[in-house]
Structure formats: C-alpha cells, structure tokens
Structure 1
C-alpha cells in the first residue's frame, strides 16, 4: 500500500505543511508520497517522499 497526496505546486512553507500534514497524521509504516508539478524535488520529510508527477510511473515500478 502507498498513500498518495497530490497538489499542484509546493510554492511556500504553509503549502508544504498543508500538503504533508494529512500523511504525517497517519501512524503506520506504509510508504507516503506527495506528488506535484514542481520542477525540483524536496528532500524526504519524516519519511514522506516528494515525487514529480511525470516520474510517478517510474516510482511505482
């Protein structure tokens, strides 16, 4: 199982916190990813990975 949170862009800290918060609230060990259209990827945050939307199919392999 993988939890996915999608968003358009992670443009500022409040947006990042808003998009990561639902995944941070889940207290199990399944993978958690935030998917966006950002040009760069953010570092893993509390085990939550940031994936660019166009790389999602590769990440799911």
Structure 2
C-alpha cells in the first residue's frame, strides 16, 4: 500500500498521539506540541499540518 499525504483538518486523539510519538524521534530536547498548539497550527490560514499515512496509520508529519 502506498504512503498517502493529507492536510490535517482536525486535531483528534490520533493526531496528538502520533505527534507525541514522532517528535521525540527528532529531538529529545524539544517537547511535542500540545493539543492546543496543534489546534492553532491546523486552524491558522498561514500554516498547514501535513500527515503521512501508511495503512491508515500516521507515520510522519510536516508543517
């Protein structure tokens, strides 16, 4: 199955949990964003949160 990329439209438990897993893989000194911070990113006209999925599971992100 191919990797798909989508624009995050909502911040739900799945998105929060995925970022809590992914961000520490990049930096041990930078904490993952909070639900509120993610909501600001998703609702902003100036930013997009892209989510990469494989078999329906979030495996990566990009802002």
Which structure is higher in helix share?
2
Radius of gyration: which is bigger? 2
Higher relative contact order (CA 8 A, sep 6+): 2
TM-score (norm 2): 0.30
